[in-house]
Amino acid sequence: MIVGKQKPFEEIWDMVKGFKKIFVYGCNTCVAISHAGGAKEAEILASMLRMKAAQEKLEMQVDNAAIERHCEPEFFEPLMEKVRTYDLVLSTACGVGVNFLSERIGDIPVYPGVNTTFYGAVPKAGYFVELCGGCGNCVLHMTGGICPVVRCSKSLMNGPCGGTDKGKCEVSKEVDCAWYLIVERMKRLGRIEELYAIQPPRDWSAGTHGGPRRLVYEHIMDLEEEKKPKAGGSAQ
């Protein structure tokens, strides 16, 4: 899932303090799980903004709500007319949600209340770890299911660098060396020899280095098109 972290309140306040009517808009999927931007967090943030506005003697109306997902259009529809009556939407969805709503809402600004942080998992409550970089060219079958692209601080593809110390990365003693984990796991899997082959320079163009990415399934788009009533014809 996408893990997010709410921006510091002071940063949010600086962004929004010039607006009179603000809608804090939560998303109840990924960012709710990471305690950053679900219904509960949107409500708390809205009340903090109201308190701050009162303290600063500013006239400001702040309302809030949340929908299940900010990344698919049908979830927006029921609330869209109401949302369009505000001067500013402070979204606590991930960056995908902020972009997507900005495209659809018309000429009303949508600001981010959350820093979208990484694709991660929740090994235990309150603890989130990055496990995938969304590089578009997966190599996990070659590395024991441990990602060298995002879990190695240098995205090395051919083994550990000289900075590994007692299984930890040179970046921090808190960070596991991905290549230490990969080598140990491949040994346990009886596949260590697979790591002896040289991996050539990667094609990074499947990642963000190839420009913004799209994924198109024409057969699905065609099916959706067929479902629509044809102009001058009758719906089936």
Binding site for other proteins (CB under 8 A): 153-167, 170-172, 177, 179-180, 183-184, 192, 195-196, 198-202, 204
> In the complex, what is the shortest distance from the CB of residue 68 to other proteins, in angstroms, rounded to a whole number?
35
> In the complex, what is the shortest distance from the CB of residue 179 to other proteins, in angstroms, rounded to a whole number?
8
Between CA 106 and CA 94 the distance in angstroms is 19
> In the complex, what is the shortest distance from the CB of residue 190 to other proteins, in angstroms, rounded to a whole number?
14
Is the Cβ of residue 66 or residue 147 nearer to other proteins in the bound state?
147
> Cα–Cα distances in Å, from 175 out to 115, 151, 167, 178?
21, 9, 9, 9
Is the Cβ of residue 124 or residue 166 nearer to other proteins in the bound state?
166
Kindly report the number of other CB atoms within 10 A of residue 89's CB atom. Answer: 22
Is the Cβ of residue 61 or residue 205 nearer to other proteins in the bound state?
205
175-210 burial, b if ≥16 CB within 10 A, otherwise e? ebbbbbbbbeebeeeeeeeebeeeeeeeeeeeeeee
Is the Cβ of residue 111 or residue 204 nearer to other proteins in the bound state?
204
Amino acid symbol at 30:
C
> In the complex, what is the shortest distance from the CB of residue 139 to other proteins, in angstroms, rounded to a whole number?
13
